[in-house]
Amino acid sequence: MVFGLNTNLISEMEEYAKINNVPIMIKDTLFYIDDMIKKEEYKSVLEIGTAIAYSSIYLRSNNDIKVTSIERDIERYNIAVDNVKKSNLSDINLIYGDALMVDIKDKYDLIIIDAAKSQNIKFFEKYKNNLNDNGAIIVDNMLFHGFVGKSSTIKSRNLRGLVRKLEAFHEYIDNQNEYSVKHIDIGDGIIVCKKNI
């Protein structure tokens, strides 16, 4: 059952994210994913990186889907649990833990990777096994604020290291034979990967 968007809660979460520097998905990216869930008639979503459950609540409010989302930061996880309670939505299952350690057996129509950007290859390798044959994996922040492709010009060592890992993920994903990969220039850049079957 779809409950409709609680715009007060959504605005409250956006405000909290802004004040507390919690990275949440750009609206255009959410709209794109929301559209895709509707068009493809997806029924189940696994999200790696809950933060405060902004994207989980947004997508579940608009769609008859079951959402499972994983977060490793206890403070964010607890806020996410409170937000889901406030939303009165069913079928959002929040898991506290490091997504690289959690054991998920179920298969999903859509897997959203939106966690530590340096670990994208590991997340993809681990969670591709949880994808239904006709499903898709979306990875967010592929452009990383325009830094991707420009790592050699970045002065900060930490940022350069992170951007290099994202560039390595681009190379890794573009060389997959098992998946068709679409780069979409929306929000901070996403890729949509579908199994070649």
The residue number whose beta carbon is nearest to ligand SAM equals 49
- Choosing from 6, 9, 10, 25, the residue that interacts with ligand SAM (CB under 6 A) is 25
Joined together, the tokens standing for residue 113 give 């990777």
Residues in region 113-132 near ligand SAM by CB under 6 A: 114-116, 119
User: Least CB distance from residue 152 to ligand SAM, whole Å?
Assistant: 26
Inter-residue contact 130 to 109 (CB < 8 Å): no
Q: How far is CA 76 from the centre of its chain?
A: 15
CA angle centred on 167, ends 166 and 169, rounded to 5°:
65
User: Least CB distance from residue 182 to ligand SAM, whole Å?
Assistant: 20
Residue written as token pair 């579908």: 194
User: Least CB distance from residue 4 to ligand SAM, whole Å?
Assistant: 19
Tell me if 23 contacts ligand SAM by CB under 6 A: yes
**CB-based burial label for 128 (10 Å; 0-12, 13-18, 19+):** middle
d(CA 148, CA 97): 28
Q: Which is nearer to ligand SAM, 66 or 196 (CB)?
A: 66
Residues in region 161-180 near ligand SAM by CB under 6 A: none
Residues in region 47-86 near ligand SAM by CB under 6 A: 47, 49, 51, 54-55, 70-73, 76
Q: Are strands 190-195 and 179-184 parallel, antiparallel or unpaired?
A: antiparallel
d(CA 92, CA 158): 35
Q: Which is nearer to ligand SAM, 49 or 189 (CB)?
A: 49
Binding site for ligand SAM (CB under 6 A): 23-25, 47, 49, 51, 54-55, 70-73, 76, 98-100, 114-116, 119
